[in-house]
Structure 1
Amino acid sequence: MGILSVELSGQLLARFGDRFSISKALREQHGRGESHHTPAIPDAVVFAQSTDDVAEAVRLCAAAGVPVIAFGAGTSLEGHLSAVRGGVSIDLSQMSQIIRVSAEDLDCTVQAGVTREQLNAHLRDQGVFFPIDPGANASIGGMAATRASGTNAVRYGTMRENVLSLTVVLPTGQVIRTGGRARKSSAGYDLTRLFVGSEGTLGIITDVTLRLQGVPETISAALCSFESVEQAVGAAIAIVQLAIPIARMELMDRA
């Protein structure tokens, strides 16, 4: 089983019970995303249900010098789910609680395993929504870790602009909280932006506080044809410069 020692395997089994697995099928599932990169399977999988679970798994693996790989929904294209040196995949999909929604403050806090569609289904009757749409039903923690975007970025930005604060487990197992809910702050380093897009190289994100947006009263859509890509780009530039409140734009060429 690669680099996973009998001692570490026993410690993880004692701590997580049936949420620790060395099943080949599970390991293969956790060794790939949706990218073209060659899959590389971990030596074991741990299913976390809390920040404490993640921290304890990371501490045990750090003490043994074993790599850890965070796993959300498995929809990423970056290849960072591949366990190129073996190790333990920490699956956060069971961390699926929506901790708090403050519709009047336009923010919410969720566990990392909550998916984009799950969050918007929860918000559907509160007059707000979460606008980042990468196409896949990705987990919020994974979207933060990969700085996900989508066609709504033209109006609402990417995950970088929509994450207010994070709970992160560092490689030592230490738990930190970055940022806060205040819109205006100039206190210290902006650690939140450091972790957004870090793809699991700096720590494992376990909780995310997000900006929410009001649901538009009306929405319309249009499909426009252009004779050249240059003309399409020119139209897009003009729309933005004229401050037309467009939510999303997508360019599709003949290919």
Structure 2
Amino acid sequence: MNAPNDLRSLTTPRLDPRPVPPAMVEALKARFGERCSTARAVREQHGRDESPFDVPPPDAVVYALTTEDVAFTVALAQQHGVPVIPFGVGSSLEGHLLAVQGGVSIDLSRMNAVLRVNAEDLTATVEAGVTRKQLNEAIRHEGLFFPIDPGADATLGGMAATRASGTNAVRYATMRENVLGLAVVTASGEVVRTGSRARKSSAGYDLTRLFVGSEGTLGVMTEITLRLYPLPEAISAAVCHFPDIDAAVRATIQIIQMGVPIARCELLDAHAIRAVNAHDKL
């Protein structure tokens, strides 16, 4: 490691690789045809995200269209002892979709249907490959929107898997508070449904909260039921200058304590301003 402060020097090695056996590849291609690929270009596309880690790509990629497709692939992988990595659009920073042990990448981006919009109880059920912008475009005519904004047009399955948040969290919280239910394929290939559209429930374990933020380690999410919000009638924005960070933090605390309906709140200190100026040549 020549540069200890360089994140790219923290390269994650491929630990104890478990290659996909030929029999499993044949079974996948028999089931999925062209939707199963071992081409290097496709594998490399699914072997990286926005994190700085450099890891060899997965051994195969499967494009799922249904929950049954995912369940079949996971059950087959379990039978052969092969890792499975869910993939959305690859916009995450966590490194959870990297194939550190090889395996099969399950691409959920084609599972992109908005299944139900229940405007009367402010919920929607979507497939895991639906993106944030796609959902908001589909529900805009209902006067509703989904507020969680991690700064990228990520899939909602990926946002749930990473417990995404964003600058709206000060008012609308994170994905953990806005996911009401899930359909998840567990490591054995079993489909489990958690939660419901009910706002209040005290029955059994809160499995939904367990899966949200698990980054694909506990199962592959295929459907998500989400909480929606009415579109605000008006939005205003302001830029405020403070003499120091302490004053800015105290002002923010007072705004929240006084109940001012603030939706977003961002702090830019001197270092952040320098970075913005350097990036945008301001």
Could you tell me the TM-score, scaled by structure 1's length?
A: 0.99
Kindly provide the amino acid, as one letter, of the partner of residue 44 in structure 2: E
Query: Does structure 1 residue 219 correspond to structure 2 residue 235?
Result: yes
Query: Does structure 1 residue 161 correspond to structure 2 residue 177?
Result: yes
5+ long unaligned stretches in structure 2 = 1-16, 272-282
Of 247, 257, 263, which residue of structure 2 is paired with 1:241? 257
**Cα offsets for 1:187-235 (capped at 9, x unmatched):** 0100000000000000000000000000111110001111111111111
Of 60, 65, 68, which residue of structure 2 is paired with 1:52? 68
How far does residue 2 in structure 1 lie from its aligned partner after superposition? 6.5
**Cα offsets for 1:87-146 (capped at 9, x unmatched):** 000000000000000111100000000000000011111110000000000000000000
Of 139, 142, 152, which residue of structure 2 is paired with 1:136? 152
Instruction: Give distance in 2, aligned partners of 1:184 and 1:40.
Output: 45
Give the equivalent residue in structure 1 for 2:225: 209
8 A Cα contact 1:48 1:91, kept in partner: yes
4+ runs deviating over 2 angstroms: none
Kindly provide the amino acid, as one letter, of the partner of residue 13 in structure 1: K
Kindly provide the amino acid, as one letter, of the partner of residue 269 in structure 2: D
Give the equivalent residue in structure 2 for 1:231: 247
5+ long unaligned stretches in structure 1 = none
Task: Indicate the SS of the match to 1:166.
Answer: strand
Give the equivalent residue in structure 1 for 2:206: 190
Instruction: Give distance in 2, aligned partners of 1:120 and 1:4.
Output: 38
How far does residue 36 in structure 1 lie from its aligned partner after superposition? 1.2
Of 84, 98, 115, which residue of structure 1 is paired with 2:131? 115
Could you tell me the TM-score, scaled by structure 2's length?
A: 0.89
How many positions carry a matched residue from both structures? 255
Kindly provide the amino acid, as one letter, of the partner of residue 155 in structure 1: R
**Cα offsets for 1:144-178 (capped at 9, x unmatched):** 00000000000000000000000000000000000
Structure possessing the higher radius of gyration over alpha carbons = 2
8 A Cα contact 1:145 1:198, kept in partner: yes
8 A Cα contact 1:170 1:203, kept in partner: yes
Give the equivalent residue in structure 1 for 2:167: 151
Instruction: Give distance in 2, aligned partners of 1:23 and 1:137.
Output: 26
| Cα RMSD for the two superposed structures | 1.0
Kindly provide the amino acid, as one letter, of the partner of residue 151 in structure 2: G
Task: Indicate the SS of the match to 2:270.
Answer: coil
Percent identity over the alignment is 63
Kindly provide the amino acid, as one letter, of the partner of residue 45 in structure 2: Q
Once the two structures are overlaid, the 10-residue window that deviates more, 36-45 or 194-203, is 36-45
Give the equivalent residue in structure 1 for 2:268: 252
Instruction: Give distance in 2, aligned partners of 1:2 and 1:181.
Output: 40
